[in-house]
């Protein structure tokens, strides 16, 4: 369906197989379920570990720790330790993290807006399969 004429009208894009490759890894991290939910929370302001743990439904301490580490490693989240007893650790988005939150929130809103469309599409598909 994509004829040879597409090539000349390629003004709007540039393939960049290189870039796409790198994008894959990053999208994997960014599109990760927990990463999105964490970014979504931190977009409202910094939070403590336990606050995040309570705010994000269903996440285990393990996954919260691991995901925060990855986000920190990618420079999206900043970790601030306040040496007290009991210890206090706050997490906040870095400027890079804030810039990410925009497209991520857009995606999250899309997901929420079309949740039912997808659920019903799944339902229809599954029912159609059963009939075979």
Partner DNA sequence: CAGAATCCAGACTGATACTG
Partner DNA sequence: CAGTATCAGTCTGGATTCTG
Site membership for DNA, residue 73 (CB under 7 A): no
Which residues in 39-98 contact a second copy (CB under 8 A)? 40, 44-47, 57-58, 72-76, 90, 92, 96
Query: Can you give the three-state secondary structure of the chain, one letter per residue?
Result: CCCCHHHHCHHHCCCCHHHHHHHHHHHHHHCCHHHHHHHHHHCCCCEEHHHHHHHCCCCCHHHHHHHHHHHHHCCCEEEEEECCCCCEEEEEECHHHHHHHHHHHHHHHHHHHCHHHHHHHHHHHHHHHHCC
Residues near a second copy (CB under 8 A): 1-2, 6, 13, 16-17, 19-28, 30-33, 36-37, 40, 44-47, 57-58, 72-76, 90, 92, 96, 99-100, 102-104, 106-115, 117-122, 124-126
Q: List interacting residues with DNA (CB under 7 A).
A: 32-33, 48-51, 53, 58-63, 65-66, 68-69, 79, 86-89
């Amino acid at each position: 369906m994509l004829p040879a004429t597409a090539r000349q009208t390629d003004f709007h894009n540039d393939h960049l197989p290189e870039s796409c490759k790198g994008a894959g890894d990053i999208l994997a991290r960014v599109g990760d379920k927990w990463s999105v939910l964490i970014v979504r929370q931190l977009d409202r302001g910094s939070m403590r570990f336990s606050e995040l743990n309570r705010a994000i439904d269903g996440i285990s301490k393990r996954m919260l720790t691991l995901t925060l580490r990855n986000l920190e490693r990618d420079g999206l989240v900043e970790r601030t330790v306040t040496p007290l007893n009991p210890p206090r650790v706050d997490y906040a988005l870095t400027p890079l993290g804030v810039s990410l939150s925009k497209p991520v929130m857009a995606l999250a809103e899309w997901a929420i807006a079309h949740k039912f469309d997808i659920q019903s599409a799944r339902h229809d598909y599954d029912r159609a399969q059963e009939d075979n």
